[in-house]
Structure 1
Amino acid sequence: MNHLAPLLFTKEAVVFDLDGTLMHTEPEIRMAINAALVDCGFPEIDPEMALPNLHGPSREVLESAAAMVDVPSSFVPKLQEAYMRHYKQQAHAHSRLYPGALELLEHLRDHDFKLAVCTNKVEANARHALRTVGIIDFFDVITGGDTTAHAKPHPLPLSHTLKQMGVAHEYAVLIGDTHVDARCAAHCNVDFILHQNGYGAPSEPEHKIAGQFNTYGGVFT
Protein backbone atom coordinates (compact mmCIF):
# COMPACT_ATOMS: atom_id res chain seq x y z
CA MET A 1 0.00 0.00 0.00
CA ASN A 2 2.98 2.38 0.06
CA HIS A 3 2.17 3.12 -3.61
CA LEU A 4 -0.88 5.12 -2.53
CA ALA A 5 1.03 7.93 -0.83
CA PRO A 6 2.89 8.97 -4.02
CA LEU A 7 -0.42 8.92 -5.91
CA LEU A 8 -2.26 10.95 -3.29
CA PHE A 9 0.46 13.56 -3.09
CA THR A 10 -0.07 14.37 -6.79
CA LYS A 11 -3.64 15.41 -5.90
CA GLU A 12 -5.35 18.35 -4.24
CA ALA A 13 -8.59 16.62 -3.21
CA VAL A 14 -9.77 13.25 -1.94
CA VAL A 15 -13.45 12.35 -2.38
CA PHE A 16 -14.88 9.45 -0.38
CA ASP A 17 -17.88 7.25 -0.92
CA LEU A 18 -19.69 6.61 2.38
CA ASP A 19 -21.37 3.20 2.79
CA GLY A 20 -18.76 0.46 2.64
CA THR A 21 -15.96 3.00 2.26
CA LEU A 22 -15.77 5.35 5.25
CA MET A 23 -18.46 3.63 7.31
CA HIS A 24 -19.79 0.12 7.89
CA THR A 25 -23.54 0.74 7.65
CA GLU A 26 -24.86 -2.65 6.51
CA PRO A 27 -26.40 -3.54 9.92
CA GLU A 28 -28.26 -0.22 9.95
CA ILE A 29 -29.59 -0.70 6.43
CA ARG A 30 -30.60 -4.30 7.10
CA MET A 31 -32.47 -3.39 10.30
CA ALA A 32 -34.44 -0.66 8.56
CA ILE A 33 -35.26 -2.94 5.61
CA ASN A 34 -36.51 -5.72 7.89
CA ALA A 35 -38.59 -3.32 9.99
CA ALA A 36 -40.14 -1.92 6.82
CA LEU A 37 -40.91 -5.40 5.50
CA VAL A 38 -42.67 -6.33 8.74
CA ASP A 39 -44.66 -3.08 8.67
CA CYS A 40 -45.84 -3.96 5.17
CA GLY A 41 -46.77 -7.54 6.11
CA PHE A 42 -43.80 -9.37 4.57
CA PRO A 43 -41.16 -11.66 6.12
CA GLU A 44 -37.76 -10.38 7.17
CA ILE A 45 -34.67 -11.18 5.10
CA ASP A 46 -32.74 -14.10 6.54
CA PRO A 47 -29.63 -12.84 8.39
CA GLU A 48 -27.51 -15.34 6.45
CA MET A 49 -28.53 -13.79 3.12
CA ALA A 50 -26.31 -10.99 1.84
CA LEU A 51 -28.04 -7.83 0.67
CA PRO A 52 -27.40 -7.62 -3.08
CA ASN A 53 -27.33 -3.83 -3.40
CA LEU A 54 -25.69 -1.54 -0.86
CA HIS A 55 -24.42 0.99 -3.38
CA GLY A 56 -27.48 2.39 -5.13
CA PRO A 57 -30.02 5.08 -4.23
CA SER A 58 -32.50 4.01 -1.54
CA ARG A 59 -35.19 2.96 -4.00
CA GLU A 60 -32.81 0.62 -5.84
CA VAL A 61 -31.59 -0.83 -2.52
CA LEU A 62 -35.22 -1.47 -1.52
CA GLU A 63 -36.15 -2.96 -4.89
CA SER A 64 -33.34 -5.49 -4.71
CA ALA A 65 -34.17 -6.37 -1.10
CA ALA A 66 -37.87 -6.70 -1.87
CA ALA A 67 -37.14 -9.16 -4.65
CA MET A 68 -35.41 -11.44 -2.13
CA VAL A 69 -38.69 -12.05 -0.29
CA ASP A 70 -41.02 -11.85 -3.30
CA VAL A 71 -42.50 -8.44 -2.57
CA PRO A 72 -44.51 -7.21 -5.59
CA SER A 73 -42.99 -4.15 -7.21
CA SER A 74 -46.21 -2.24 -6.54
CA PHE A 75 -45.38 -2.34 -2.81
CA VAL A 76 -41.95 -0.76 -3.18
CA PRO A 77 -43.11 2.88 -2.68
CA LYS A 78 -44.86 1.94 0.57
CA LEU A 79 -41.84 -0.11 1.60
CA GLN A 80 -39.51 2.81 0.88
CA GLU A 81 -41.63 5.16 2.99
CA ALA A 82 -41.45 2.76 5.94
CA TYR A 83 -37.72 2.21 5.39
CA MET A 84 -36.92 5.91 5.48
CA ARG A 85 -38.92 6.30 8.70
CA HIS A 86 -37.15 3.43 10.45
CA TYR A 87 -33.73 4.45 9.17
CA LYS A 88 -34.20 7.94 10.59
CA GLN A 89 -35.43 6.58 13.93
CA GLN A 90 -32.36 4.35 14.28
CA ALA A 91 -30.21 7.48 14.16
CA HIS A 92 -27.16 5.53 12.90
CA ALA A 93 -26.69 3.91 16.29
CA HIS A 94 -25.38 0.74 14.62
CA SER A 95 -23.06 2.34 12.03
CA ARG A 96 -19.35 2.80 12.63
CA LEU A 97 -16.22 4.14 10.99
CA TYR A 98 -13.84 1.62 9.48
CA PRO A 99 -10.70 1.24 11.62
CA GLY A 100 -8.06 3.76 10.65
CA ALA A 101 -10.43 6.00 8.68
CA LEU A 102 -10.32 8.79 11.24
CA GLU A 103 -6.52 8.72 11.33
CA LEU A 104 -6.39 8.93 7.53
CA LEU A 105 -8.74 11.92 7.51
CA GLU A 106 -6.58 13.64 10.11
CA HIS A 107 -3.46 12.89 8.08
CA LEU A 108 -5.02 14.25 4.89
CA ARG A 109 -6.22 17.38 6.66
CA ASP A 110 -2.76 17.94 8.15
CA HIS A 111 -1.38 17.87 4.58
CA ASP A 112 -3.95 20.44 3.39
CA PHE A 113 -6.00 18.14 1.18
CA LYS A 114 -9.53 19.23 0.35
CA LEU A 115 -11.95 16.49 1.41
CA ALA A 116 -15.47 15.60 0.31
CA VAL A 117 -18.08 12.85 0.42
CA CYS A 118 -19.96 11.73 -2.69
CA THR A 119 -22.52 9.06 -1.83
CA ASN A 120 -25.78 7.61 -3.13
CA LYS A 121 -27.24 7.89 0.37
CA VAL A 122 -29.81 10.68 0.74
CA GLU A 123 -27.83 13.82 1.60
CA ALA A 124 -29.66 14.47 4.89
CA ASN A 125 -28.95 10.89 6.02
CA ALA A 126 -25.32 11.16 4.93
CA ARG A 127 -24.87 14.35 6.94
CA HIS A 128 -26.50 12.76 9.97
CA ALA A 129 -24.28 9.68 9.72
CA LEU A 130 -21.11 11.78 9.43
CA ARG A 131 -22.21 13.97 12.31
CA THR A 132 -23.02 10.95 14.48
CA VAL A 133 -19.52 9.49 14.14
CA GLY A 134 -17.94 12.91 14.59
CA ILE A 135 -16.28 13.49 11.22
CA ILE A 136 -18.59 15.88 9.37
CA ASP A 137 -16.27 18.86 9.92
CA PHE A 138 -13.53 17.23 7.84
CA PHE A 139 -15.49 17.71 4.62
CA ASP A 140 -15.75 20.79 2.42
CA VAL A 141 -18.58 19.28 0.34
CA ILE A 142 -21.12 16.50 0.95
CA THR A 143 -23.03 15.27 -2.10
CA GLY A 144 -25.87 12.80 -1.63
CA GLY A 145 -27.88 10.68 -4.02
CA ASP A 146 -30.57 13.36 -4.12
CA THR A 147 -28.26 16.39 -4.32
CA THR A 148 -28.09 16.35 -8.12
CA ALA A 149 -30.47 15.09 -10.79
CA HIS A 150 -28.62 11.77 -11.08
CA ALA A 151 -26.91 9.37 -8.69
CA LYS A 152 -23.62 7.52 -9.22
CA PRO A 153 -22.42 5.97 -11.53
CA HIS A 154 -23.60 9.00 -13.52
CA PRO A 155 -20.73 11.53 -13.60
CA LEU A 156 -22.87 14.45 -12.36
CA PRO A 157 -22.54 13.86 -8.57
CA LEU A 158 -18.75 13.69 -8.69
CA SER A 159 -18.47 16.57 -11.18
CA HIS A 160 -20.74 18.65 -8.94
CA THR A 161 -18.61 17.79 -5.91
CA LEU A 162 -15.37 18.83 -7.59
CA LYS A 163 -16.91 22.02 -8.96
CA GLN A 164 -18.05 22.97 -5.46
CA MET A 165 -14.54 22.29 -4.19
CA GLY A 166 -12.92 24.29 -6.98
CA VAL A 167 -10.69 21.35 -7.98
CA ALA A 168 -9.93 20.16 -11.51
CA HIS A 169 -10.72 16.51 -12.21
CA GLU A 170 -7.09 15.56 -12.80
CA TYR A 171 -6.18 16.75 -9.29
CA ALA A 172 -8.75 14.63 -7.48
CA VAL A 173 -9.10 11.00 -6.51
CA LEU A 174 -12.25 9.06 -5.59
CA ILE A 175 -12.05 6.35 -2.91
CA GLY A 176 -14.90 3.85 -3.10
CA ASP A 177 -15.76 0.19 -2.70
CA THR A 178 -17.91 -0.88 -5.67
CA HIS A 179 -18.20 -0.85 -9.44
CA VAL A 180 -20.55 2.12 -9.11
CA ASP A 181 -17.72 4.27 -7.75
CA ALA A 182 -15.26 2.93 -10.31
CA ARG A 183 -17.62 3.75 -13.18
CA CYS A 184 -18.39 7.21 -11.81
CA ALA A 185 -14.69 8.01 -11.52
CA ALA A 186 -14.02 6.69 -15.03
CA HIS A 187 -16.84 8.80 -16.48
CA CYS A 188 -15.21 11.87 -14.88
CA ASN A 189 -11.60 10.97 -15.77
CA VAL A 190 -10.80 10.89 -12.06
CA ASP A 191 -8.37 8.37 -10.56
CA PHE A 192 -10.10 5.67 -8.51
CA ILE A 193 -8.84 3.89 -5.38
CA LEU A 194 -10.67 0.73 -4.29
CA HIS A 195 -11.44 -0.07 -0.64
CA GLN A 196 -11.36 -3.86 -0.90
CA ASN A 197 -13.03 -4.53 2.47
CA GLY A 198 -16.23 -2.72 1.49
CA TYR A 199 -19.41 -4.03 -0.10
CA GLY A 200 -18.25 -4.69 -3.65
CA ALA A 201 -17.31 -8.07 -5.08
CA PRO A 202 -13.62 -8.43 -6.03
CA SER A 203 -14.50 -8.85 -9.71
CA GLU A 204 -16.94 -5.93 -9.87
CA PRO A 205 -14.80 -2.95 -10.94
CA GLU A 206 -14.63 -2.89 -14.73
CA HIS A 207 -12.62 0.29 -15.03
CA LYS A 208 -9.06 1.27 -14.29
CA ILE A 209 -8.04 1.16 -10.62
CA ALA A 210 -5.20 3.49 -9.72
CA GLY A 211 -4.71 1.82 -6.32
CA GLN A 212 -6.34 -0.41 -3.74
CA PHE A 213 -6.12 -1.20 -0.05
CA ASN A 214 -7.64 -3.50 2.56
CA THR A 215 -7.34 -1.38 5.69
CA TYR A 216 -6.91 2.33 6.21
CA GLY A 217 -4.01 1.91 8.59
CA GLY A 218 -1.52 1.28 5.80
CA VAL A 219 -2.55 3.86 3.21
CA PHE A 220 0.29 6.25 4.08
CA THR A 221 2.86 3.85 5.55
Structure 2
Amino acid sequence: MPESTTTDLTLHSLLQRDDVRGLVFDLDGTIVDSAADIINGMRLTFQQAGLGTLPQDYFPDNLHGTSEGIMRDILADMGWQAPTDFSPLKAQYVQNYSTLGHGTTQLYAGAQDVLNACRDASLAMGICTNKVHASALAATHKVGIHGLFDFISGSDSWAQPKPSPIPLLETIRMLGLEPEQCLYFGDTSIDAECARNAGVRFVLHASGYGDPALEDAPRYFAFSQWSELLGASTGSVNDIQAQ
Protein backbone atom coordinates (compact mmCIF):
# COMPACT_ATOMS: atom_id res chain seq x y z
CA MET A 1 0.00 0.00 0.00
CA PRO A 2 1.34 3.49 -0.85
CA GLU A 3 2.80 5.52 1.97
CA SER A 4 0.55 8.15 3.53
CA THR A 5 1.28 11.81 4.05
CA THR A 6 0.26 12.73 7.59
CA THR A 7 -2.25 15.57 7.84
CA ASP A 8 -4.30 17.17 10.60
CA LEU A 9 -7.40 17.35 8.40
CA THR A 10 -10.71 15.74 9.32
CA LEU A 11 -12.61 13.94 6.62
CA HIS A 12 -16.28 14.63 5.91
CA SER A 13 -18.58 12.17 7.66
CA LEU A 14 -19.37 10.59 4.28
CA LEU A 15 -15.82 9.29 4.13
CA GLN A 16 -15.87 8.02 7.70
CA ARG A 17 -18.86 5.74 7.31
CA ASP A 18 -18.37 2.16 8.47
CA ASP A 19 -19.69 0.89 5.13
CA VAL A 20 -17.11 2.86 3.10
CA ARG A 21 -13.77 1.07 2.84
CA GLY A 22 -12.66 2.07 -0.63
CA LEU A 23 -12.79 5.06 -2.96
CA VAL A 24 -12.49 4.97 -6.74
CA PHE A 25 -12.06 8.17 -8.73
CA ASP A 26 -12.50 9.27 -12.29
CA LEU A 27 -9.54 11.43 -13.33
CA ASP A 28 -10.30 14.17 -15.89
CA GLY A 29 -12.82 16.68 -14.59
CA THR A 30 -12.85 14.99 -11.19
CA ILE A 31 -9.35 15.08 -9.71
CA VAL A 32 -7.55 17.02 -12.43
CA ASP A 33 -8.48 19.78 -14.86
CA SER A 34 -6.90 18.56 -18.07
CA ALA A 35 -9.28 20.06 -20.63
CA ALA A 36 -6.75 22.37 -22.30
CA ASP A 37 -4.23 19.56 -22.84
CA ILE A 38 -6.89 17.21 -24.23
CA ILE A 39 -8.27 19.84 -26.64
CA ASN A 40 -4.80 20.93 -27.74
CA GLY A 41 -3.91 17.31 -28.44
CA MET A 42 -7.08 16.93 -30.51
CA ARG A 43 -6.42 20.23 -32.33
CA LEU A 44 -2.91 19.16 -33.32
CA THR A 45 -4.11 15.73 -34.42
CA PHE A 46 -6.85 17.13 -36.66
CA GLN A 47 -4.43 19.58 -38.23
CA GLN A 48 -1.88 16.86 -38.95
CA ALA A 49 -4.60 14.70 -40.53
CA GLY A 50 -5.70 17.59 -42.75
CA LEU A 51 -9.21 17.56 -41.30
CA GLY A 52 -9.34 21.18 -40.15
CA THR A 53 -8.37 23.59 -37.41
CA LEU A 54 -10.31 23.93 -34.17
CA PRO A 55 -10.95 27.52 -33.04
CA GLN A 56 -8.79 28.58 -30.10
CA ASP A 57 -11.87 29.09 -27.91
CA TYR A 58 -13.48 25.77 -28.87
CA PHE A 59 -14.72 23.59 -26.00
CA PRO A 60 -16.45 20.30 -26.82
CA ASP A 61 -19.61 19.03 -25.15
CA ASN A 62 -17.96 15.62 -24.72
CA LEU A 63 -14.86 15.40 -22.55
CA HIS A 64 -16.01 12.27 -20.76
CA GLY A 65 -15.71 9.58 -23.40
CA THR A 66 -12.79 7.68 -24.86
CA SER A 67 -10.42 9.57 -27.14
CA GLU A 68 -12.20 8.11 -30.17
CA GLY A 69 -15.60 9.10 -28.80
CA ILE A 70 -14.45 12.66 -28.14
CA MET A 71 -12.91 12.95 -31.60
CA ARG A 72 -16.01 11.58 -33.30
CA ASP A 73 -18.19 14.14 -31.51
CA ILE A 74 -15.84 17.00 -32.40
CA LEU A 75 -15.77 15.95 -36.06
CA ALA A 76 -19.57 15.85 -36.13
CA ASP A 77 -19.76 19.22 -34.35
CA MET A 78 -17.37 20.83 -36.86
CA GLY A 79 -18.97 19.14 -39.87
CA TRP A 80 -15.73 17.38 -40.84
CA GLN A 81 -15.58 14.00 -42.52
CA ALA A 82 -14.76 11.18 -40.10
CA PRO A 83 -12.21 8.64 -41.34
CA THR A 84 -13.33 5.09 -42.02
CA ASP A 85 -10.50 3.72 -39.88
CA PHE A 86 -9.99 5.63 -36.64
CA SER A 87 -6.94 3.67 -35.51
CA PRO A 88 -4.29 5.98 -37.05
CA LEU A 89 -6.07 9.07 -35.73
CA LYS A 90 -6.29 7.60 -32.21
CA ALA A 91 -2.64 6.59 -32.25
CA GLN A 92 -1.60 10.06 -33.42
CA TYR A 93 -3.66 11.71 -30.69
CA VAL A 94 -2.13 9.53 -27.95
CA GLN A 95 1.33 10.46 -29.24
CA ASN A 96 0.50 14.18 -29.43
CA TYR A 97 -1.11 14.19 -26.00
CA SER A 98 1.95 12.51 -24.54
CA THR A 99 4.26 14.99 -26.27
CA LEU A 100 2.39 17.90 -24.69
CA GLY A 101 3.51 16.47 -21.34
CA HIS A 102 0.35 17.42 -19.42
CA GLY A 103 1.77 20.94 -19.37
CA THR A 104 -1.42 22.70 -18.27
CA THR A 105 -3.03 19.81 -16.35
CA GLN A 106 -3.45 20.59 -12.67
CA LEU A 107 -5.20 19.28 -9.58
CA TYR A 108 -8.48 20.88 -8.59
CA ALA A 109 -8.02 23.10 -5.56
CA GLY A 110 -8.22 21.11 -2.33
CA ALA A 111 -7.99 17.70 -4.01
CA GLN A 112 -4.49 17.00 -2.69
CA ASP A 113 -5.54 17.59 0.93
CA VAL A 114 -8.56 15.31 0.61
CA LEU A 115 -6.61 12.53 -1.09
CA ASN A 116 -3.87 12.73 1.54
CA ALA A 117 -6.44 12.58 4.33
CA CYS A 118 -8.16 9.58 2.71
CA ARG A 119 -4.83 7.77 2.50
CA ASP A 120 -4.10 8.61 6.14
CA ALA A 121 -7.49 7.13 7.02
CA SER A 122 -6.34 3.83 5.43
CA LEU A 123 -9.06 3.89 2.78
CA ALA A 124 -8.24 1.82 -0.31
CA MET A 125 -7.98 4.13 -3.32
CA GLY A 126 -8.15 3.54 -7.07
CA ILE A 127 -8.61 5.42 -10.33
CA CYS A 128 -10.99 4.30 -13.08
CA THR A 129 -10.72 6.59 -16.11
CA ASN A 130 -11.49 6.57 -19.82
CA LYS A 131 -7.97 7.87 -20.45
CA VAL A 132 -5.68 5.20 -21.86
CA HIS A 133 -3.70 3.61 -19.05
CA ALA A 134 -0.32 5.06 -20.04
CA SER A 135 -1.76 8.59 -20.12
CA ALA A 136 -3.42 8.09 -16.74
CA LEU A 137 -0.12 7.00 -15.22
CA ALA A 138 1.72 9.94 -16.77
CA ALA A 139 -0.89 12.46 -15.62
CA THR A 140 -0.92 11.23 -12.03
CA HIS A 141 2.87 11.31 -11.93
CA LYS A 142 2.85 14.84 -13.36
CA VAL A 143 0.58 16.25 -10.64
CA GLY A 144 2.25 14.26 -7.86
CA ILE A 145 -0.54 11.92 -6.76
CA HIS A 146 0.46 8.60 -8.34
CA GLY A 147 1.77 7.13 -5.10
CA LEU A 148 -1.52 7.67 -3.29
CA PHE A 149 -3.38 5.02 -5.30
CA ASP A 150 -3.41 1.27 -4.92
CA PHE A 151 -4.53 0.67 -8.51
CA ILE A 152 -5.05 2.75 -11.67
CA SER A 153 -7.29 1.55 -14.49
CA GLY A 154 -7.51 3.02 -18.02
CA SER A 155 -9.94 2.66 -20.89
CA ASP A 156 -7.66 0.08 -22.50
CA SER A 157 -7.20 -1.95 -19.32
CA TRP A 158 -10.37 -3.98 -19.90
CA ALA A 159 -12.53 -5.25 -22.75
CA GLN A 160 -14.90 -2.26 -22.53
CA PRO A 161 -14.57 1.35 -21.34
CA LYS A 162 -17.05 3.22 -19.15
CA PRO A 163 -20.07 3.39 -18.99
CA SER A 164 -19.74 -0.38 -18.95
CA PRO A 165 -19.52 -1.46 -15.31
CA ILE A 166 -16.55 -3.71 -16.13
CA PRO A 167 -13.78 -1.12 -15.54
CA LEU A 168 -15.20 -0.04 -12.19
CA LEU A 169 -15.95 -3.58 -11.00
CA GLU A 170 -12.49 -4.77 -12.00
CA THR A 171 -10.83 -1.81 -10.31
CA ILE A 172 -12.76 -2.54 -7.11
CA ARG A 173 -11.78 -6.20 -7.39
CA MET A 174 -8.14 -5.18 -7.64
CA LEU A 175 -8.61 -3.23 -4.41
CA GLY A 176 -9.80 -6.43 -2.74
CA LEU A 177 -13.23 -5.01 -2.01
CA GLU A 178 -16.89 -5.41 -2.99
CA PRO A 179 -18.99 -2.80 -4.85
CA GLU A 180 -21.14 -2.07 -1.79
CA GLN A 181 -18.01 -1.15 0.18
CA CYS A 182 -16.97 1.61 -2.22
CA LEU A 183 -17.83 5.06 -3.52
CA TYR A 184 -17.16 6.19 -7.09
CA PHE A 185 -16.29 9.85 -7.69
CA GLY A 186 -16.99 11.32 -11.13
CA ASP A 187 -18.22 14.38 -12.97
CA THR A 188 -20.32 13.17 -15.92
CA SER A 189 -23.32 11.02 -16.83
CA ILE A 190 -20.88 8.37 -18.10
CA ASP A 191 -19.48 8.08 -14.58
CA ALA A 192 -22.95 8.06 -13.04
CA GLU A 193 -24.14 5.34 -15.44
CA CYS A 194 -21.03 3.26 -14.83
CA ALA A 195 -21.56 3.47 -11.07
CA ARG A 196 -25.25 2.61 -11.35
CA ASN A 197 -24.51 -0.38 -13.60
CA ALA A 198 -21.88 -1.59 -11.13
CA GLY A 199 -24.06 -1.12 -8.05
CA VAL A 200 -21.66 1.45 -6.58
CA ARG A 201 -22.68 4.66 -4.83
CA PHE A 202 -21.92 7.67 -7.05
CA VAL A 203 -20.37 10.88 -5.71
CA LEU A 204 -20.65 13.83 -8.11
CA HIS A 205 -17.99 16.50 -8.55
CA ALA A 206 -20.44 19.16 -9.68
CA SER A 207 -17.73 21.57 -10.85
CA GLY A 208 -16.25 19.11 -13.35
CA TYR A 209 -16.92 18.92 -17.07
CA GLY A 210 -20.46 17.55 -16.81
CA ASP A 211 -22.85 16.99 -19.71
CA PRO A 212 -26.60 17.52 -20.30
CA ALA A 213 -27.54 13.94 -19.39
CA LEU A 214 -25.98 14.38 -15.96
CA GLU A 215 -28.89 16.50 -14.74
CA ASP A 216 -31.19 13.50 -14.26
CA ALA A 217 -28.49 11.04 -13.21
CA PRO A 218 -28.83 9.69 -9.66
CA ARG A 219 -26.12 10.51 -7.15
CA TYR A 220 -25.50 9.54 -3.55
CA PHE A 221 -23.68 12.75 -2.72
CA ALA A 222 -22.58 15.90 -4.53
CA PHE A 223 -19.90 18.51 -3.91
CA SER A 224 -18.65 21.53 -5.83
CA GLN A 225 -15.34 22.18 -4.09
CA TRP A 226 -12.98 19.52 -2.80
CA SER A 227 -12.64 21.41 0.47
CA GLU A 228 -16.26 20.44 1.19
CA LEU A 229 -15.05 16.88 1.77
CA LEU A 230 -13.17 17.97 4.87
CA GLY A 231 -14.96 18.53 8.16
CA ALA A 232 -18.69 18.53 8.86
CA SER A 233 -21.16 18.98 6.03
CA THR A 234 -23.06 22.24 5.68
CA GLY A 235 -25.45 23.41 3.00
CA SER A 236 -27.80 21.56 0.69
CA VAL A 237 -25.13 20.67 -1.88
CA ASN A 238 -23.53 18.39 0.68
CA ASP A 239 -26.68 16.55 1.66
CA ILE A 240 -26.36 12.80 1.14
CA GLN A 241 -29.01 11.72 -1.33
CA ALA A 242 -30.44 8.24 -1.68
CA GLN A 243 -29.86 6.76 -5.12
TM-score > 0.5, shorter chain as reference: yes
Match of 1:197 in 2: 207
Letter paired with 1:147: S
Letter paired with 2:142: T
Instruction: Count residues in correspondence.
Output: 218
Q: 1:80 aligns with which of 90, 98, 107?
A: 90
Equivalent residues in 2 for 1:26-175, closer than 5 Å: 26-74=35-83, 76-175=86-185
Instruction: Assess, with a 3 A threshold, how the Cα gap between structure 1 residues 203 and 67 changes in structure 2: closer, same or farther.
Output: closer
- Structure 1 stretch 98-107 or stretch 7-16: which is displaced more? 7-16
Unaligned 5+ segments in structure 1 are none
Task: Provide the C-alpha distance between the structure 2 equivalents of 1:164 and 1:42, rounded to a whole number of angstroms.
Answer: 41
Letter paired with 1:6: S
Q: 2:198 aligns with which of 165, 170, 188?
A: 188
Aligned-residue offset at 1:42: 2.8
Task: Provide the C-alpha distance between the structure 1 equivalents of 2:153 and 2:213, rounded to a whole number of angstroms.
Answer: 27
Q: What SS does structure 2 have at the residue aligned with 1:148?
A: coil
- Structure 1 stretch 165-174 or stretch 38-47: which is displaced more? 38-47
Task: Provide the C-alpha distance between the structure 2 equivalents of 1:163 and 1:205, rounded to a whole number of angstroms.
Answer: 29
Task: Provide the C-alpha distance between the structure 1 equivalents of 2:167 and 2:76, rounded to a whole number of angstroms.
Answer: 28
Letter paired with 1:192: F
Aligned-residue offset at 1:88: 1.1
Letter paired with 2:43: N
Match of 2:238 in 1: none
Aligned-residue offset at 1:69: 2.5
Q: 1:176 aligns with which of 175, 186, 191?
A: 186
Partners of 2:51 and 2:81 within 8 A in 1: no
Q: What SS does structure 2 have at the residue aligned with 1:142?
A: strand
Match of 1:7 in 2: 14
Aligned-residue offset at 1:43: 2.5
Partners of 2:192 and 2:214 within 8 A in 1: no
Letter paired with 1:85: Q
Instruction: Assess, with a 3 A threshold, how the Cα gap between structure 1 residues 16 and 196 changes in structure 2: closer, same or farther.
Output: same
Report the TM-score when normalising by structure 2.
Answer: 0.85
Q: What SS does structure 2 have at the residue aligned with 1:51?
A: coil
Task: Provide the C-alpha distance between the structure 1 equivalents of 2:119 and 2:175, rounded to a whole number of angstroms.
Answer: 15
Task: Provide the C-alpha distance between the structure 2 equivalents of 1:143 and 1:82, rounded to a whole number of angstroms.
Answer: 22
Task: Provide the C-alpha distance between the structure 1 equivalents of 2:62 and 2:228, rounded to a whole number of angstroms.
Answer: 28
Per-residue displacement from partner, 1:41-65 (whole Å, max 9, x unpaired)? 2322223332121111111111111
Task: Provide the C-alpha distance between the structure 2 equivalents of 1:71 and 1:209, rounded to a whole number of angstroms.
Answer: 36
- Structure 1 stretch 39-48 or stretch 208-217: which is displaced more? 39-48
Letter paired with 2:203: I
- Once superposed, what is the RMSD of the aligned Cα atoms? 1.6
Task: Provide the C-alpha distance between the structure 1 equivalents of 2:67 and 2:166, rounded to a whole number of angstroms.
Answer: 18
Unaligned 5+ segments in structure 2 are 1-10, 232-243
Q: What SS does structure 2 have at the residue aligned with 1:170?
A: helix
Instruction: Report runs of 4+ in structure 1 exceeding 6 Å deviation.
Output: none
Identity within the alignment, %: 32
Aligned-residue offset at 1:23: 0.5
Task: Provide the C-alpha distance between the structure 2 equivalents of 1:62 and 1:201, rounded to a whole number of angstroms.
Answer: 16
Match of 2:33 in 1: 24
